[in-house]
Structure 1
Amino acid sequence: MKIFHLDLPSKIIYKKNKISKIDHSSVAEIFSITAIQSCFDISIDEHWHSNKYGFPLSRTEITTFMTHREAWKRITEEKPAFHLIIEENISIDFDLNDAIRDLENLPDDWDVFFPYDMYQVAEEESQLKNVELLNENVREKRELEAYLLSFNWGSSIYFINLNGAQKLLETSVIKQTVEDEMISLTAVDRLNMYYSEVSWFNIRNHPEKNNIEREEIILDTILSYNVWTEDDNKLLHEVLKIISTTASELNIPLILQGGSHLG
């Protein structure tokens, strides 16, 4: 097994101190891959993400996708049965032999394995945030985010074999985050992605990534969004004119529109 350690773009920050620790185990060789800024063999769809979520994919997410893709390419040139891909926020402080034993017990058709259950993690985070809420509604219970599963699955650590790398390299267009691409391919039976909580690794103990460029894009999109168009303004003036004329003709001193409150 080989470990591919991926450097991330500078627009990625961490909610607690990043600790990069890798035990130089005899069962694995370690290779570092710096952030890849461009790929000649893949294109970028500039509109798909905006059409689906209302804002474009950030350059940071594109670079992260390309960096993972570089690791997939190298895997196709290797002989070991499977490999580990980690981003720089992950510390390999567990026994890789424990991981290998779990991988050997996976179904034979596995392509990618995530050693965590992000559904469970997201639910735990939701409960912590809303511990003081009474009779919370659906949006208060868990706010939906602009990801395929409505929360970020993450791409910080996963195991992948040769078949998985070959399948992922068939993707010719970057249109969403690398993890959402994996999930999408799994949904249409083009990739076999497995996940499970394991005894030897806990994603909660590792620094959470924060893509500040994505946050800046979302904020800019919100601030630049204009809910009133010129046609809306014209229509409003026409409606107000009709209301005013009607009120004057019928001698109505006060008109209340739905939503008005008198106290």
Structure 2
Amino acid sequence: MVQILDGKKLSKKILEKIAENVKEAAFSIKLASIYNEKNPGSKMYVGMKVRRAASVGIDSEEFKIDDTWNTDQVLRLIDKLNHDDSVSGILVQSPLGQHIDESAVFNAISPIKDVDGLAAYNQGLLFENAEEKHVVSATPAGVMALLKAYDYSFTGKNALVIGRSVLFGRPMSILLTNADMTVTLAHSKTPTDQLQQFAQTADLIVVAVGKANWFQLDHLKATATVIDVGANKLDGQTVGDVVFQKTAAQVSWITPVPGGVGPMTIATLIQHTYELAKFQHRGE
């Protein structure tokens, strides 16, 4: 019988510990969020993060942009927040809009305020597997925390990551490589027959293509673990990228949607905010 990787339960424990740390901290903590207020998804996700931050005693400030903003205006806002000592972490909720260079925006965030680890500096340290402390993008970091909480053994196993985005797929593949797995990075354009070949030998399958019920392959390993990163609306319900019942019947471990990766992403982001604030106030 398949076992559930319960991100909701674990995230609650993480947030409870952060709340204790924040209460004992001798410094203030604030998360600044930038998002396009015309995007309902961004508005919803930022709202969830703000509420979780408040639940552990972390302040938040929202900076709403719209389609009239250009890249230079956002960069000036980032610069202002970089120099604001009251701001511990800066979150940019993608997408900001087709007219804005998001790469330039992410890379403008100070590394010590890059709460989602998406600037090239932090990505480079991840690529190096550097000993120097650095922030890893919240969703892949949350996936790793969830697997480790269930004592997942990484070394020597095969992983298939489906999704090549800079926000998730690529950093996820590097994290698993750094954990001594042999990793195949595929995507939505990978031919189905090739995906099938990769999937049937994979010990760990991570799916992040952003398409409802997209993954429904057969002949998976009975001992495999499947991580569903998707969060899609379908007929008024939130569903993942993975056809849950079909996939769960084949494998040993699986994440649900909702209640799997999503809560871990938010908890990890809040944890990063606290840790960055602690780093910024070291010695005080």
TM-score after normalising by structure 2: 0.24
- Answer 1 or 2: higher relative contact order, Cα 8 Å, separation at least 6: 1
TM-score after normalising by structure 1: 0.26
